[in-house]
Homo-oligomer: A and B are copies of this chain.
Amino acid sequence: MKQSKMLIPTLREMPSDAQVISHALLMRAGYVRQVSAGIYAYLPLANRVLEKLKNIMREEFEEIGAVELLAPTLLTADLWRESGRYDTYGEDLYKLKNRDSSDFILGPTHEETMTALVRDEITSYKKLPLNVYQIATKYRDEKRPRYGLLRGREFIMKDGYSFHADQDSLDETYQDYKKAYEKIFERAGLTFKPIIGDGGAMGGKDSQEFMAITDDRTDLEKWLVLSKNITSIDEIPESVLADIKEELGKWLVAGEDTIVYADGGDYAANLEMATSQFDPKAAYTEELELEKVATPDAKTIDEVAEFLKVDQSQTIKTLVFRADDELVVVLLHGNDQLNEVKLTNYLGADLVEAASEADVEAAFGVHFGSLGPVGLKEVRIIADREVELVKNAIVGANEDGFHYKNVNIGRDFEVSEFVDLRTVNEGEVSPDGRGTLKFARGIEIGHIFKLGTRYSEAMNANVLDANGRAIPMIMGCYGIGVSRLLSAILEQFARIYVEKTPKEEYKFSWSINFPKELAPFDIHLVPVNIKDETAMALTAELETKLRAKGYQVLVDDRNERAGVKFADSDLIGLPVRVTIGKKAAEGIVEVKIRATGEVVEINKDELVNTIEILNQN
C-alpha cells in the first residue's frame, strides 16, 4: 500500500487536549480524529488494527462454538420497557423518536434485543445452549467523555450472549469464554489480569473483569528503547534522563480502576470487591472498666488518638448511612477505610448514602464528632468483622467533648451483624493465604457475567424443559471493548526512543511499538529520496518480494524530507522499518527492528531471512 494514498495525518506536536499517552499518540500518529466530543473517526491505520482485532476474536470464538450475527443499533423503546431498563438506565441512554413519534434508543448493550430474538425462535431446551455474539457500534451518552477511545460516546464492542436450560451449561460456556478471552488478550500482546468483578449494575451473580494493567512509568528499562549507538541507560546524561522522566510523568496513568492482586498467588479483584485474609482469633485481652474522658476539640480519629496518646488501632469509627429510608450505624476499626460498594451490596438497598449531620442530630441528638455506639437505641448497628477483635476501644461518648475508653462489644453495646466492609491495603495477605496484596491501575477491556434469569424472566423468554414445563432461559453475557482495546494497547506499547546524534547529543521522542499481530502493516519500506530511480526500483522489488512472502507492506512513496519520513515512521510504529538509501545501487538496505532498536545493513537478498530472525524477539 502506498503511503501517499493513505490518510495518515501525523502531527508535529502532541495534541494539547490529551491527558493520557494513548490518546495523544492515536491523534499524533494519525490513527484517529475526533468528530465531536467522545466520537471518533478511525482513520485507515486504526481501521486496520481494528480489523485484525476482530479477526483474532472471530478465530477464538469459533473455537468455543460462538456464532457471529449482527443486530441493529436503533432499537425500539418497547424492548427496553419490557426489561424495565428504559426508565432506569439513566441519562447515558440516547433516546429519540422516529417520524411516527415512536420511541427509540441507540443500543448501549443488547441483552434485550438478543433475549427477544432467541425467545421468539427457540421454544425447547433441546435447541440450547446457544451462544451468539456481534462486533458492532454502541452508544452511551457519557457525561464527561475523555481519554480518547477510553471513554467515548460511540464505540465498538464485541458483545456475546449465551442461553442455557441449566446452570451447568452456563458454567461451562462461562469457562469457555474465560479461556477465549485470555487467548485473545494474549494474542493482542497485552499484560492483563482477570479479576473478580462487580456485576452489580448488570444484575449478575458471578462475573469477572479483564483488566489491562497500566504502569506508573518509573521503570526506565521498560519504557525506553535505545538506538544502537547507546550502550545503556547509564550512559545517558542526568539532565536528559530528568527530561525523559518528566515527559513520562506528564501523562496520567490511564485506568479507571484500582486492581488488587496477590503477588505470589492467583487472587485478583477490583479494589471495590477485594478482600484479604481475616483471622477471627483475637488474643485474649482483659476487659477494663468503661471510662468517660474529656477530649476537648478532638473530633476526628486522628485528633482523638493524638490527644489520648494511643494508636489509631485502639479506636472504633462510627459512621451513619441512609439506606433508602432507614438510618444504619456502621462501625469500622480506626485504621480502616470503608468500602462503600461492599456496604451497598450488603445492604441491598436502592440508594445508600452518608447520612447528613442534620439526620444524625435528629435521630440521636448528638453531633457527628462525638457519635459512638454506646447507648444508641433502636438503631441497626453493623460492623466490619475486624471490629470484633478490638478490645478496650475508644469511641465517641455521644456528648460533645467526651469519648469513652475501654469500650467492649457485648458488655457496653450490641452489634447486630459483623461483615466485611473495609477497603484492603497493600501488603495484606491474600484471602486464600497465597501471596500478599499489591495494587495496580487497570483498564477494563473485557467482562464476563452470569446473568442468570434477570432478562429472561422479565421478558418471558422461556423454553420447555424435558418434563414439558416452561422455564426461563439462563443467560450469560460477555463483552470486549474493541475500540478501547486500541487505547489499552497503546498505553502498554508506547515507548520513548532515545538516540545519540553524530554530535553526541541525546534526543528522545515518543513512538508506538505495535505488537506484531496487531500492527497495521508488518513492514515499513522507506525510500529516502523518491527521485532516486535506483532506490525506487529496489523499493518496488522488495515490496513485491515481501508481499509474496505474506508480509503486509506500507511504502512511504511521499516526496518528503528524510527527517519527516523517519519521524512519521517512528510514530506509526510498524515492527520493521527498511530504509532504502544511497546504498541501493549496491543492493544494500538498512533494517530497523522497532521493539529492540536494533539496526543492521543487509543485502536485499537476505532481507526476508534477516527480518524473520531479528523480529523473533
Which residues of A pack against B, CB within 8 Å? 1-2, 4-7, 9, 33, 35-36, 39-44, 46-48, 50, 62, 65, 67-76, 91-92, 94-96, 98-99, 104, 106, 113, 116-118, 120-122, 126-127, 130-132, 137, 139, 141, 143, 153-154, 559
Nearest CB in chain B to that of A91: its residue: B99
| Bound complex: CA A134 to CA B74 (Å) | 19
Q: Is the CB of A41 within 8 A of B71?
A: yes
**How far, in whole Å, are A98 and B39 apart by their CA atoms in the complex?**
12
Bound form: Cα–Cα A65–B4 in Å:
10
A75 to B132, CA, bound (A): 29
Question: Roughly how many angstroms separate A132 CA and B122 CA in the complex, as a whole number?
Answer: 42
Cross-chain pairs A/B with CB under 8 angstroms, 30 sampled: A1-B62, A1-B67, A4-B127, A5-B65, A5-B131, A7-B117, A7-B121, A9-B122, A33-B120, A33-B121, A35-B75, A36-B75, A41-B70, A41-B71, A44-B68, A44-B69, A44-B132, A46-B69, A47-B70, A48-B68, A50-B70, A72-B137, A73-B73, A74-B139, A92-B99, A94-B96, A95-B96, A96-B96, A98-B141, A99-B141
Interface centre among A65, A91, A92, A122 (most CB of B within 10 A): A65
Is the beta-carbon distance between B71 and A35 smaller than 8 angstroms? yes
A48 to B70, CA, bound (A): 10
Inter-subunit contact B42/A74 (CB<8 Å): no
Which residues of the other chain, B, contact A70 by a CB distance below 8 angstroms?
41-42, 46-47, 50
Residues of chain B lying within 8 A (CB to CB) of residue A121: 7, 9, 33
Chain B positions within 8 Å of A6 at CB level? 67
Q: Which residues of B contact A118 (CB under 8 A)?
A: 7
* A39 to B107 CA separation, bound complex (whole angstroms): 13
Smallest CB separation, A170 vs chain B (Å):
15
**A276–B91 CA distance with the chains assembled, in angstroms:** 59
Inter-subunit contact B36/A76 (CB<8 Å): yes
Pick the most buried of A43, A76, A120, A131: most chain B CB atoms within 10 A of its CB: A43
A35 and B72 form a contact (CB under 8 A): yes
The CA of A409 and the CA of B46, in the complex, are separated in Å by 67
Complexed CA–CA distance, A76 and B39 (Å) = 10
